[in-house]
Amino acid sequence: MNRRRKIYEGKAKILYEGPEPSTLIQHFKDDATAFNAQKHEQIEGKGVLNNRISEYVFTRLAEIGIPTHFVRRLNMREQLVREVEIIPLEVVVRNVAAGSISKRLGLEEGTALPRSIIEFYYKNDKLGDPLVTEEHITAFNWANPQEIDEIMALVLRINDFLSGLFLGIGIRLVDFKVEFGRHFENDMMRIILADEISPDSCRLWDVETQNRLDKDRFRRDMGGLIEAYQEVARRLGILVENGHPKASGPVLVSSK
């Protein structure tokens, strides 16, 4: 296993060369970081949960026709993915004010936004992933206008679908971050969803209690991160009470 060629190591994941051309193995680590890795801890079991949750979300998104890099889960911590040329943007969609938009614009956390807002951040750790506009993206050729349009259309579909999926299990999708890549196949290029979608990259609040079921538990020293991620997995129907994986679908929460 360790002889595999490492292609890239990020803060929470490692990419290895895959078994076939144009594939990679995405390995989920237990590392949790915040504030551009100024805060860093190992949280045992986080990688396993994110692997399962991201597999589940990417599979559901593929079912509604969102092209993704996910091929199949290989084991507890790894999935086979399609190789992409990553577009150096973190695309954030917000439904409710929280985190950096609350600070930047002085909005109370929990305020519903007038409509879903898409933001782009330039993926560059040295610069702390600065907020950028479409002008920067096209001027520096990180993506062309057509690619930006496609990404915006995709994230709005992802947002609508995931908002409904999570609402069905009593969770409010406050915001999330996704990344896209260019996948080349037979001289054709298409933009596909890459990276992960997990409680590391979303804000997920319990509808009833407003309890945080995401990485803010780590960022804000609230504790109980694993329990929160397990709760998300349990409600999605991918974990049973004793923590072992199960195969059935989401557990519906009654609506009021």
Contact between residue 155 and residue 178 where contact means Cβ atoms under 8 Å apart: yes
Q: Is residue 100 near ligand TMP by the rule CB under 6 A?
A: yes
Q: Which is nearer to ligand TMP, 18 or 181 (CB)?
A: 181
The residue whose Cβ lies closest to ligand TMP is 99
Phi, psi for residue 80 in degrees, rounded to 5:
-85, 130
Contact between residue 186 and residue 176 where contact means Cβ atoms under 8 Å apart: no
Can you tell me the distance from the alpha carbon of 30 to that of 57, in angstroms, rounded to the nearest whole number? Answer: 19
Other CB atoms within 10 A of residue 207 CB: 15
In this chain, which of 99, 168, 237, 250 binds ligand TMP, going by CB under 6 A?
99
Q: Which is nearer to ligand TMP, 101 or 148 (CB)?
A: 101
Show contacts with ligand TMP in window 74-93 (CB under 6 A): 92
Q: Which is nearer to ligand TMP, 78 or 216 (CB)?
A: 216
Q: Binding mask 118-147 vs ligand TMP (x if CB under 6 A, - otherwise)?
A: -----------x------------------
Can you tell me the distance from the alpha carbon of 220 to that of 64, in angstroms, rounded to the nearest whole number? Answer: 35
φ/ψ bin of 15: left (φ > 0), alpha (ψ from -120 to 50), beta (otherwise): beta
> Segment contacting ligand TMP (CB under 6 A): 152-160, 183-191, 201-209, 224-232?
201-209
16: β partners = 6, 25
Can you tell me the distance from the alpha carbon of 47 to that of 73, in angstroms, rounded to the nearest whole number? Answer: 13
Q: Which is nearer to ligand TMP, 82 or 177 (CB)?
A: 177
In this chain, which of 169, 201, 212, 232 binds ligand TMP, going by CB under 6 A?
201
User: Residues interacting with ligand TMP, by CB under 6 A?
Assistant: 92, 99-101, 129, 175-177, 201-203
